[in-house]
Amino acid sequence: MSNAPVVNIDPSAFWDDPFPALAEMRATTPICFVPELNATLITRRDDIHTCEKNVAVFSSDQPGGLMNVLMGQNMMRKDGDDHRKERFVYYPAISPNKVKAWWASVFADLTNMVLDDLIDRGSADLVPTYATALSGEALKAITGLTNATFQEINDWSQAMIDGISNYVGAPEPEARCNAATAAIDAAIDERLPELEHTPDMSLLSVMLQSGMPLDQVRANIKLTISGGQNEPRDAIAGAIYALLTNPDQLELVLNGSVTWQQVFEEYCRWVAPICMSPRRIAQSHTFQGVTFEPEERVMFMFGSANHDEDYFTNPGSFDITRDVSPNLTFGAGPHVCAGAAASRSLVGDFALPLAFERLPDLQLDESAAPTRFGGWAFRGPLNVSVKWTS
Ligand code: HEM
């Protein structure tokens, strides 16, 4: 265990709202060992930015880690050449150029398809309807698992997230995760002959055509579902909530003074959908006076970096006019998010502007259920009840 100062947390209060504890950590013990998480947390932006690039020490390769055991070793859990080889195949399928040339029009159609289904209702909880449906439909297209429903994609994603954060080893989340990965394998098997006959732009097809071994293809598809569903979903519903609770800022984007992309970026700075990412210490190392020991677990707190007072004034407030460029929403090292361009396009270019365009007089309907946020590793709104003129 590192010789970092020990800081205790109340796990349920941390789940409800991690930001007060993280602010205290940044101010007094920016690198601290938290027994309740059995990990050393790095909470300041510059420290994370530096350490994430030092893969010789802060390794993503976690043999025996829950993600490897339950989902197979994917590219996010590899370092060096092994990682680069797979990312070299995977990333071009959803690169900024490919998103512009291909996925943007797919996202436009899917957004309108989901809104067509919603528009006559007049009111809804955006999380299970608009946000989950659109994120799931986009992920079906991107992965190539068009034979699944958006609900299955969402349930598989949640089951894998619950499985890989099940540090206490409870049987139920593990069984649910195993059922989800088996269902994904079956969906992949069903698509194989179709994609062999008619390849397409999807990640599954692109990885198959590259000759990547099938078990690696399966692991990277599972990674994509576990890491590509909740985050856009939470950004869609969360950003709409943030604008509806800040009408002055809604006015700025509706009158074109600020872009929808800026809204997306500021929302993800304000509540990072992925607040934490783990690493394994590969060799003894001293950083900022803290000595880390081999095999111990370290957590990069991206959500805290995005509230670092050295970069963001009044970080707890949602402000679409601020400079968000120092944010670490998508990470900052060799594992920087491969889906960032797809997310910016889906959420910033389509999901947000079209929701306000096609749901007239959109407003919060808190009489239905007050909005609640939850989570410290993955964080987002649990519900966002709205109404509009239909
Ligand atoms: C708002 C949306 C999203 C956020 C905030 C987000 C955030 C992140 C972060 C923080 C990482 C780095 C993790 C680390 O360093 O350990 C990451 C990695 C990754 N993300 Fe995303 N993500 C989002 C959407 C997506 C989507 C839609 C996809 C796929 C279609 C995706 C695919 C990936 C992959 C494959 C990696 C691993 C990259 C590598 O290891 O080289 N993400 N994401």
Q: Which pLDDT score is estimated for 166?
A: 85
Residue 169 has pLDDT above 90, yes or no: no
Residue 216 included in any domain: yes
Ligand 1 centroid to Cα of residue 177, in Å, is 20
Q: Which two tokens stand for residue 159?
A: 């089951």
- Nearest atom of ligand 1 to the alpha carbon of 229: 27
Q: Which pLDDT score is estimated for 125?
A: 97
Ligand 1 centroid to Cα of residue 87, in Å, is 12
Q: Which residue from 228, 140, 130 is spatially nearest to 184, judged by alpha carbons?
A: 140
Q: Say what percent of the chain tops pLDDT 70.
A: 100
**How many angstroms from the chain centroid is the CA of residue 371?**
20
Ligand 1 centroid to Cα of residue 194, in Å, is 28
**How many angstroms from the chain centroid is the CA of residue 113?**
23
Q: What is the domain range of residue 315?
A: 11-387
Q: Which residue from 217, 197, 198 is spatially nearest to 208, judged by alpha carbons?
A: 217
Q: Under a CB-based contact definition with an 8 Å cutoff, are residues 218 and 182 in contact?
A: no
Total domain count for the chain?
1
Q: Under a CB-based contact definition with an 8 Å cutoff, are residues 152 and 128 in contact?
A: no
- Nearest atom of ligand 1 to the alpha carbon of 333: 15
How would residue 198 be classed by pLDDT, with cut points 50, 70 and 90? Answer: very high
* CB of residue 202 inside a 6 A radius of ligand 1: no
Residue 188 included in any domain: yes
Ligand 1 centroid to Cα of residue 198, in Å, is 28
Ligand 1 centroid to Cα of residue 226, in Å, is 10
* CB of residue 238 inside a 6 A radius of ligand 1: no
Residue 362 included in any domain: yes
The pairing of strands 290-292 and 285-287 is antiparallel
Q: Give the three-state DSSP class for 300.
A: strand
Residue 2 included in any domain: no
Q: Which two tokens stand for residue 52?
A: 């994430």
Q: Give the Cα separation of 57 and 296 in Å (integer).
A: 11
How would residue 379 be classed by pLDDT, with cut points 50, 70 and 90? Answer: very high
Pocket test for ligand 1, best of 132, 337, 345 (most atoms within 8 A of CB): 337
Residue 3 included in any domain: no
Q: Which pLDDT score is estimated for 64?
A: 84
Closest CA to ligand 1's atom 9? 330
Closest CA to ligand 1's atom 21? 337
Q: Which pLDDT score is estimated for 165?
A: 85
Residue 167 has pLDDT above 80, yes or no: no
The pairing of strands 372-374 and 380-383 is antiparallel
Burial pattern 332-365, b for ≥16 Cβ within 10 A else e, equals bbebebbbbbbbbbbbbbbbbbbbbeebeebebb
Ligand 1 centroid to Cα of residue 59, in Å, is 17
pTM over cut 0.95: yes
The domain that contains 295 carries what CATH number? Answer: 1.10.630.10
CA distance from start to end of the chain: 58
Per-residue model confidence as pLDDT tens digits over 213-222: 999 999 999 9
Residue 168 has pLDDT above 80, yes or no: no
Q: Which two tokens stand for residue 130?
A: 């608009």
* CB of residue 144 inside a 6 A radius of ligand 1: no
* CB of residue 335 inside a 6 A radius of ligand 1: yes
Q: Which two tokens stand for residue 256?
A: 């074109």
Q: Which pLDDT score is estimated for 128?
A: 96
Per-residue model confidence as pLDDT tens digits over 34-74: 999 999 999 999 999 999 999 999 999 988 888 999 999 99
Ligand 1 centroid to Cα of residue 336, in Å, is 7
Per-residue model confidence as pLDDT tens digits over 302-347: 999 999 999 999 999 999 999 999 999 999 999 999 999 999 999 9
How would residue 267 be classed by pLDDT, with cut points 50, 70 and 90? Answer: very high
- What are φ and ψ of residue 34, in 5° steps? -115, 105
